Amino acid sequence: MAGTVDTKFVKYEVKDRIAYITLNRPEAMNALSQGLLADLNTAFREAGRDDDVLVVILSGEGGRAFSAGMDLKEFSARQAEQAAAGQAPAAIGAGGDGPSGFTSVGRCRKPVIAAIDGYCLAGGFELAIQSDIRVASRKSVFGLPEARRSILAGPGLTQLPRMIPLAEALRIALTGAPISAERALQIGIIQELAADREEVFKVAQGIADEILLGAPLAMQEIKRLVKEGVEMTIPQAEMLREILSAQLAQTEDALEGPRAFAEKRAPNWKMR
């Protein structure tokens, strides 16, 4: 595999135009420490910069957890230090907890597929929420237990209610109780259910391969239009679509797509 970054808590590999980003703290169930969040930001920044990368598959090392959430031991120790220094304690996800690393998944301009196997809780669940497509093994478990620790979740409270029925999002957030992968599929949190870890990656790879059939620049604009457009009125979204479509029409790839179809050959995308 080609493509590497200098990170300790995240693995980064590129193969066949897919970047594989793996949370790599299996001994801590891939808990989101400051170091891991910083590395995650580095990895996604590289994936966004590299024109050879067209799709990202995000997963967790070890087979026990995609991620069990924020590293509360580290966070609690930092709060104690702040209290001893007479400082106001920071909230999770603020300041030193690396919001750029945490939100780098959602900000990635390229399609992101979450390959989930095992516990997917709290901040780990929210990383999955910020991905574009989610595949999970049957043993996977999802939940937002923050309320049981007097913590307000982030994307779990702001993005999840826009993805699934409101009452389902409220039940997950208010009870803090985990839900099964089967239930997550029923209510639309995940898009496909796999038997085990091996099949999760096969399914994620298959989805990535289908995305790779499309024009790269078009894929990026589709993602932008859908994600930004859902927050707009329909007329506003239509206006954004016209702007993005006009820009795309000026590219070489916009000429190549119809030409390749007419010539009955595979298109040669140049991403310009």
- Catalytic positions: 126, 146
In this structure, which amino acid lies at residue 196?
Answer: D
In this structure, which amino acid lies at residue 192?
Answer: E
Centre a 10 Å sphere on the Cβ of residue 38 and count the other Cβ atoms it contains. 17
H/E stretch holding 99 reads helix 99-107
CA distance 3 to 13: 5
> 39 CB contacts (<8 Å, ≥6 apart)?
7, 8, 9, 10, 101
Going by C-alpha positions, the residue among 146, 168, 56, 46 that lies closest to residue 93 is 146
Going by C-alpha positions, the residue among 75, 65, 77 that lies closest to residue 28 is 65
